[in-house]
Amino acid sequence: MLKRNRINFILGTAIILGIFGVFLFSANFVLAQNDLGLSQLEPTLAIATQTDIRVIIARIIQAALGLVGVIMVGLIVYAGVLYMTSGGEAAKTATARKVITNAIIGLAIILSSLAITEFIVRSLTGQGFGGGGGGGGGGRAVDTLSGALGGGIIQDHYPGRDAKDIPRNVKIIVTFKEPIKLSSLIEDTDKDGTYGSAGDKLNLNNVKIRKSADNPQSGPFVSAGAAHSSDNRTFVFAPDGLLGSSKDNVKYTVALGPGIKKVNDENAFGANFAQGYGWEFTTGTFVDETPPKIETVIPGANGT
């Protein structure tokens, strides 16, 4: 009996240490490698505000699965202790084995759930800048740069990220938080020494508008006229022709490159956003021919 108790004690200790080691490895793997993509997801989802609803959901799922994982490990430790103190009783050892088996199955389900959740989140948001999609056609090209909106120099843009049913004659508008060097975004096409006159185009070295299915390095890229506000913060790019198709919706990518400069010649995109900024939108099959109308003005008439 004493010999059997020693064997049970050794086996129980080995089980606890082994499972604990697996847990530590799994936890490190989950937190360092499979953190639901939050290390890349958060900048991807930041739009105007710092916290996107999808980031919040991902954090909730991650926290819930982590809590359940801790419970599973606790059950394994409990089963190991029960096995060590069973004294050779068949009922206790059988219970311990059953608890360990179920807990291991639970851990496997949790890890699988993390993998599935990460896959779904990444599928919804995408990643990479000219690298994630490779040199081929359909990969998303700029999403890991999205954190610049709200956290970087980009204040706002139109169309918005992942906007759908955008008219084919859309003008693309980008507003920066600081004045930008005009030659970074506009090419002096008419050689009149100014940037933003009627014949000038966008600088294709730093602004690339393309169908998302086209190659992120070689395009083809959309040619567009370019204009700017008096404070050099808002830029308007008017494509030379209609975007998209009259038959199908077409997804486009806009990428603002790292060569864009502030008026003092400093890089506009720095630190975490050094590679630039980009987003996608989808055009519909229609042309918007409805003229704009004024809905309200500030200050109002006869205002003081």
**What pLDDT, in 10s, does the model give residues 263-296?**
999 998 877 677 888 899 999 999 999 888 888 8
What's the pLDDT score for residue 235?
94
Q: Examine the pLDDT at 96 and tell me if it is beyond 70.
A: yes
Q: Which of 92-96, 111-115, 168-172, 273-277 has the highest mean pLDDT?
A: 168-172
Q: Examine the pLDDT at 80 and tell me if it is beyond 50.
A: yes
More confident: 200 or 19: 200
- CA–CA distances in Å: residue 263 to residues 5, 154, 182, 183, 198: 79, 15, 8, 10, 22
Q: Which two tokens stand for residue 50?
A: 């710092």
Q: Which residues contact 272 (CB under 8 A, 6 or more apart)?
A: 43, 147, 151, 152
Cα atoms in the 13 Å half-sphere on the side-chain side of 266: 8
pLDDT > 90: percent of the chain:
33
- 212 touches 138 (CB < 8 A): yes
**In the predicted model, what is the mean pLDDT of residues 72-95?**
80
Q: Which helix (H) or strand (E) holds 148?
A: helix 148-151
What's the pLDDT score for residue 53?
61
**In the predicted model, what is the mean pLDDT of residues 57-85?**
79
pLDDT digits (tens, 9 = 90+) for 28-67: 444 444 444 444 434 444 433 344 566 667 677 777 777 8
What's the pLDDT score for residue 214?
93
Q: Which residues contact 132 (CB under 8 A, 6 or more apart)?
A: 126, 139, 140, 141, 143, 144
Lowest-confidence region among 19-23, 62-66, 187-191: 19-23
What's the pLDDT score for residue 128?
33
What's the pLDDT score for residue 124?
56
- 22, with CB counted inside 10 A (0-12, 13-18, 19+), is middle
